[in-house]
Structure 1
């Protein structure tokens, strides 16, 4: 379906040429009874919900007991079997943050979940801070002294020009007010500091193939989805300079999208089906995703900016 919305403007480029391209529902966490419109900007190709979901409604839809980012992480004291080690090595999914000496550096993780990455930065000597809307994730991370604020970045009201490194890995696409968020990120980043943003990539080959069945469309938990150009434009408009773009898609964009497509008429979630639970298909899909990354067509992108 395509319906032009000339009375609304793109939050990145301010174009009034928006069109509704999908009317769909949550295909991951069982919220199948409410439909959401997804618009595409004719100018910069940004995807966004219309009307935009409120932050309160979005936050209420997360289940602290099941959402992956809120679960306890392994701190190195747990026993891991050889089979688990092999599986994790073959199906490794990890953000490719810039490598730097983080000793005594101020590091902020926005949407840090239970604080796994902060835990390991702290072990390397960094002074860490997190922001997380989940109470359970916040409480778990703070057991390790990770200094996680329970709420939004704006509510945290952090000190200006403080952070040497800020990361937002697979959390920025969950934000309903990206313009204001980038302004706040700029305010608190130290001059010369870096910002790392990992989000789904709507220029990816799987998105072009699967459209509204794409795994990372993520309605309504991803109220805004980006491509490299419009994400860079958003940050550069607020004063940042692009340093690097990396592509880091994984098996979910390939195999998860295919499972969603096969489930399109039964409203089962993306984790239900024979394909996504087949270990051989997982391995093959992960290798295919690596090829897409080399071609700059991967499902996920990571952009590093400098203030």
Structure 2
């Protein structure tokens, strides 16, 4: 990967079924696997358009409670229409909390924080990569360069903390979640998105599963391991669902074909599976079903402090 050599053994914890690898790499060794061209460090295109536009704007204002641009009150029929549209536009958006404080751990180039700021949130970020932090700061965002555990945020400060495809990269997940619990308001929530080792694709492809991404993904979680980690750090899982699509399957398939090239006809190997729109559109309904069955590639969780109302 990225021209950096390395062979790793993939192992599974006998107790919680979490996936990890050996030999473990030190932080400075892992840095070689995060070049400046890493996707999360690139600024998203059309930030202004994505921030507040069309159906997204309508759903945010009439369903999620964001301030109406033109003033006035939300009408009942518009709220109903926005609810229906919420399944296709602004999916997973955060309900408005006035001028709430939002922390994105592993914020990358800051594109998501930029959009939230446009929607009225007070936003903060943490990013260990100098390249990613520089991009985020160029947008005028308050971003701490380094780890969350050395950011020294005040206790009980944040309404919402987000870790979007970050937890699996951490070698110290317990310490990070304990720190998040300290800096959250008692009624705050944590949003975590993480690959699911309980997925059908992991069962099918094993070491060739796209979501494994060794050695960048230090620990990979299934539902059991994830819930145990949350419980051990003082959180309860308020909601856990799967969200996936055909991309993970076709990417894993391409890895599998590369690994076993001589067993397949040349025409199969020469198909650009990840970019084949016909294959992805054909498979999309199947992965919607897998998400309902909790067999999708990605888990999306909402946490709250254990015992909080």
* TM-score interval, smaller chain: 0.7 to 0.9
Give the conservation status (yes or no) of the 8 Å contact 1:132–1:152.
yes
> Quick one: distance in 2 between partners of 1:273 and 1:102?
47
Q: Structure 1-normalised TM-score? A: 0.79
1:63 equivalent among 26, 35, 43: 35
Alignment of 1:169-208 (within 5 A): 169-208=164-203
Considering only CA atoms, is the larger Rg found in Structure 1 or Structure 2?
2
- Give the 3 Å change call, closer, same or farther, for CA 185–273 of structure 1 in structure 2: farther
- Give the 3 Å change call, closer, same or farther, for CA 160–107 of structure 1 in structure 2: same
- TM-superposed CA distance for 1:95, in Å, is 9.4
* Map of 2:95 onto structure 1: 100
Greater Cα offset, 250-259 or 104-113: 250-259
> Quick one: distance in 2 between partners of 1:273 and 1:137?
33
- TM-superposed CA distance for 1:232, in Å, is 1.5
Give the conservation status (yes or no) of the 8 Å contact 1:54–1:176.
no
Give the conservation status (yes or no) of the 8 Å contact 2:10–2:207.
no
Alignment of 1:79-118 (within 5 A): 97=92, 99-118=94-113
- Give the 3 Å change call, closer, same or farther, for CA 100–226 of structure 1 in structure 2: same
1:285 equivalent among 283, 286, 300: 283
- TM-superposed CA distance for 1:98, in Å, is 5.6
> Quick one: distance in 1 between partners of 2:221 and 2:147?
21
* Map of 2:209 onto structure 1: 214
Greater Cα offset, 277-286 or 172-181: 277-286
Structure 1 gap segments, 5+ residues each: 1-25, 79-91, 267-271
- TM-superposed CA distance for 1:96, in Å, is 5.2
> Quick one: distance in 2 between partners of 1:155 and 1:107?
18
- TM-superposed CA distance for 1:77, in Å, is 5.7
**Which is richer in helix?**
2
Q: Cα deviation per residue 1:189-236 (whole Å; 9 max; x = unaligned)?
A: 111110011000000001011101111011001010001121111111
Structure 2 gap segments, 5+ residues each: 51-86, 262-269
2:25 equivalent among 53, 58, 71: 53
Give the conservation status (yes or no) of the 8 Å contact 1:95–1:198.
no
* Map of 1:5 onto structure 2: none
Q: Structure 2-normalised TM-score? A: 0.78
Give the conservation status (yes or no) of the 8 Å contact 2:17–2:224.
no
Give the conservation status (yes or no) of the 8 Å contact 1:59–1:133.
no
Give the conservation status (yes or no) of the 8 Å contact 1:138–1:149.
yes
Q: Cα deviation per residue 1:210-267 (whole Å; 9 max; x = unaligned)?
A: 101111011001010001121111111111121100111122321111111001156x
* Map of 2:144 onto structure 1: 149
* Map of 2:254 onto structure 1: 259
Q: Cα deviation per residue 1:112-148 (whole Å; 9 max; x = unaligned)?
A: 1101111111111111000112222211211222211
Q: Secondary structure at the match of 1:216?
A: coil
- Give the 3 Å change call, closer, same or farther, for CA 248–30 of structure 1 in structure 2: farther
Q: CA RMSD in A?
A: 2.2
Number of aligned residue pairs: 260
- Give the 3 Å change call, closer, same or farther, for CA 232–161 of structure 1 in structure 2: same
Q: Cα deviation per residue 1:160-195 (whole Å; 9 max; x = unaligned)?
A: 211110000111111111111111111111111100
